[in-house]
Structure 1
Amino acid sequence: MRRPGLKSIWAVLLAAVLLLGAGLPVHARPGFFNRDSGSAAKPLPSSAPSGKLQEVAPPGAVQQLRQNLQQHRPSLRLIAPSNDSIVTSDALELRFEIDDWPLSSDPELGLGPHVVLQIDNRAPLRLSESNGNRLKVRIDDLEAGSHRFSAWAAYPWGEAVQTPGASIQGRLHLWQKLQGTQPERDAPWLVPVSPSGEQGLQPLLVDWLIWNAPLQNLREGDGRWRLRISIDGDSFLVDHQEALWLKGSNGAGSHDIQMELLNGLGEPITPVFNNQLIHLKAASGAKPGWMRPRLSESQLARLSGSPEPEVLEVVESTPEPPQRTEEKQQEQTEQPRDLPQAELKAEAVVEDEVDTQTTAVPQPTAPEENEEQEPEPLIAEQPLAEQPSKSETARPTPPTPAQEKPAESQQPANEEPKLKPSSSLGGSARELLNSDGRLRKP
């Protein structure tokens, strides 16, 4: 005989189980980087370059340029066409906008800061000219179908700028979209970054971009991806996004660089998009400016796209001949150094005035006679002793030496000299003469 109370108990228990199970989360299928690898599995450890490869410091010019350009924060955007759009044209025209990145190119030093565009696995296009902050590139030989592209701000030597906003990626479809020919929207894919010029210069730049790859090494054992790099047969593993400078391999010859994206256990991730090979041809011609050990201030400004510093012109004085130099030194020693130039001129003027006053002392001269006055006859009655001689009358007074009398005691030039009487006769001399000029008799 069945008990009706037992059925009610089972019904209550079943309802409770259903209610409790409704709130449990649904676990998604493991993706590329969240697969449960088991508690015993450990991430594959990274390794340093080995064999012929040796990690070295970048060239001196690269260090200068990096320090000069670190003040910029480039921002790159796609203007047209929009991402994941279908283009119905035989040619593809892409337009970008770049801010805070000084695009430049110098005819002597080479390419400066620029923007790199890479479509699929085609050769990268380097853009260094813009209209304001707008960039435009036209591609005429693109195949119909779906394509992926990457664009990034690059340093003069080709390394990609890793700051946020400096790089973009997307997909475009020419005429029609083809399913399965490109990575999924959230799937990781690898882009090797070639050095500027695509030449095998030493030291060798090794750089890359990984899209949709999560940050790692945030905690211990957090290794969800690895990158295997093989250069001319020597390989190593890296677990961080940072460019490398390597030296050793084939010197300045050609190089083959292979990059493989792996998960934390070393298993390949979608090899069709993440196993890439780039070939660098042997170096030829002059080395670019960024390979120099050091740049001058002018070269640094030209290669980094900065205004050149103002250079002050230095006028070099032509050295004088030794003979003229000796003459100048002799003149300087002869000229008194304890008196200013103005005092020397004043003394010279005073000496000239003293000499002039000395020579300008008035001499006693005979009184001027009227042209109509007749000559006086000789007076016989005058004693010879009392009559002064002509030589005594005409003899000038000797000048006083300048050193014995001061200049102030000299006789003024406009004062008439005093003359002694030359005769003792009184009255007029005409009263003693006749009309014919003879002496009048008493």
Structure 2
Amino acid sequence: MSGQGMRGVFCWFLIGLLAIGTVGCGDRQPAGTLANGDRPALQPEQRRSQLKEVSPPATIQKLRQVLEDYRPQVKILSPQPDELLQENRVSVRLEVKDLPIYQDPQLGLGPHLQVFVDDQPYRRVFRLDEPLILEDLSPGTHHLRAFAARPWDESFKNEGAYAQATFHVFTKTPNNQPDPNLPLITYGSPQGSYGAEPIMLDFYLLNAPLHFIAKDDSQDDIPDWRIRTTINGESFLLDRWQPIYLKGFKPGQNWLKLEFLDETGSLVQNAFNLDLRLIDYQPGGQDSLARLMRGDLSAADALGIVDPKARQPGAAGESLVPPPGWACRCCPWLRRRKSGPSADTGT
């Protein structure tokens, strides 16, 4: 069966599945319970103070399924690897296959690229038809990293979803050059400001074997690893490469540190394997991400952030909603329904 056919079958399966989930409020996971019966990444004995791992919000779980069959392939077109540039203004051009990159005009979210220069926080890229301009780079060596991300900043973790390139401004220097043969962690989220919990912790790993393979035989040559996460001075270990959703942040500034550790608990000495970020948490935010995390937006409300065909121009006094249940990217049909108290919102 062709890829398009498979996606069509998946779409109809998803419609039926999520139609059931949109009846009543039984689709919400209890706080502290993970979907699909997964064990918490942050084990009870590792929890300290107010931090608690919770299940992803119900709306995020539904929207995530719409993007499940994408396998984005990311490529840095310029600068070229090891390119020596004679100016400190650099034009970065990127290419992505098998994922629409766009920003929903209503909610301001959408599938995007997260682009990192050296150890600096990422920049979101929603357009590929124009370059990302890096201004006032210091002379010397710089490292560029990029990966595809879902609208709520969760990285795609399939092979090819990440690209990197080292380049030089005026001259080469020994800094900002990760060893390509060593594991490398790229801190993704959280970053910036947040208006609701849970707050997602996510990162991208390179050259890290699957944990269950690495720990299967202590005598083999496959190195085991852990990610030590420290939040406001309290640390816990992660042994799986997946996002986790946390509650218990204090209002105001919170600091986070990620470290890639080997099987002895020592930091793997590679550029960027220790990353530190400061975020601002102000409860009650009304931005789109905060509304998603709180559950103020249903999956139908937010469909446009995962399906670019979901937003179609409607006549005045009309709102576009999916048919009962769901619609995904391989189902472009949406019907118009008069807005008002009697309108079916699809929730």
Alpha-carbon distance in structure 2 between the residues aligned to 1:199 and 1:149: 26
The Cα shift of 1:249 comes to: 3.4
Alpha-carbon distance in structure 1 between the residues aligned to 2:232 and 2:337: 52
Find the counterpart in structure 1 of residue 265 from structure 2.
266
Q: Which amino acid aligns with 2:131?
A: K
The Cα shift of 1:90 comes to: 2.5
Q: Runs of 4 or more off by more than 6 Å in structure 1?
A: none
Q: Is residue 153 of structure 2 the alignment partner of residue 158 of structure 1?
A: yes
Find the counterpart in structure 2 of residue 310 from structure 1.
334
Alpha-carbon distance in structure 1 between the residues aligned to 2:80 and 2:271: 26
The Cα shift of 1:128 comes to: 0.9
Q: 1:209 to 1:76 in 2, by over 3 A?
A: same
Matches within 5 A, 1:26-41: none
The Cα shift of 1:211 comes to: 2.5
* Aligned 8 A contact 1:227 1:238 in 2: yes
Alpha-carbon distance in structure 1 between the residues aligned to 2:305 and 2:62: 11
The Cα shift of 1:296 comes to: 4.6
* Aligned 8 A contact 2:78 2:92 in 1: yes
Q: 1:163 to 1:254 in 2, by over 3 A?
A: same
* Aligned 8 A contact 1:153 1:167 in 2: yes
Alpha-carbon distance in structure 1 between the residues aligned to 2:175 and 2:118: 14
Q: Which amino acid aligns with 1:154?
A: A
Find the counterpart in structure 1 of residue 138 from structure 2.
143
Find the counterpart in structure 2 of residue 25 from structure 1.
none
TM-score for the superposition, normalised by structure 2: 0.70
Find the counterpart in structure 1 of residue 72 from structure 2.
74
Candidates 176, 181, 187, aligned match of 1:192: 187
Alpha-carbon distance in structure 1 between the residues aligned to 2:299 and 2:67: 14
Which digits, 9 at most, give the CA deviation of each residue in 1:146-174, with x for residues without a partner?
01121011111111110111111221111
Alpha-carbon distance in structure 1 between the residues aligned to 2:76 and 2:339: 52
The Cα shift of 1:261 comes to: 1.4
- Equivalent pairs: percent with the same residue? 30
Aligned residue-pair number:
267
Report SS of the residue matched to 1:254.
strand
Which digits, 9 at most, give the CA deviation of each residue in 1:43-79, with x for residues without a partner?
xxx9554012211011122112101111222111111
Q: Which amino acid aligns with 1:211?
A: L
Q: 1:59 to 1:197 in 2, by over 3 A?
A: farther
Two-structure CA RMSD over aligned residues (Å): 2.6
* Aligned 8 A contact 1:199 1:254 in 2: no
Which digits, 9 at most, give the CA deviation of each residue in 1:73-121, with x for residues without a partner?
2111111221122122221111111112122223442311111101112
Candidates 164, 167, 183, aligned match of 1:169: 164
The Cα shift of 1:201 comes to: 3.5
Higher helix share: 1
Candidates 107, 126, 129, aligned match of 1:128: 126
Which digits, 9 at most, give the CA deviation of each residue in 1:279-306, with x for residues without a partner?
1112374132532426456533312133
* Aligned 8 A contact 1:113 1:155 in 2: yes
Alpha-carbon distance in structure 2 between the residues aligned to 1:62 and 1:314: 27
Q: Is residue 251 of structure 2 the alignment partner of residue 257 of structure 1?
A: no
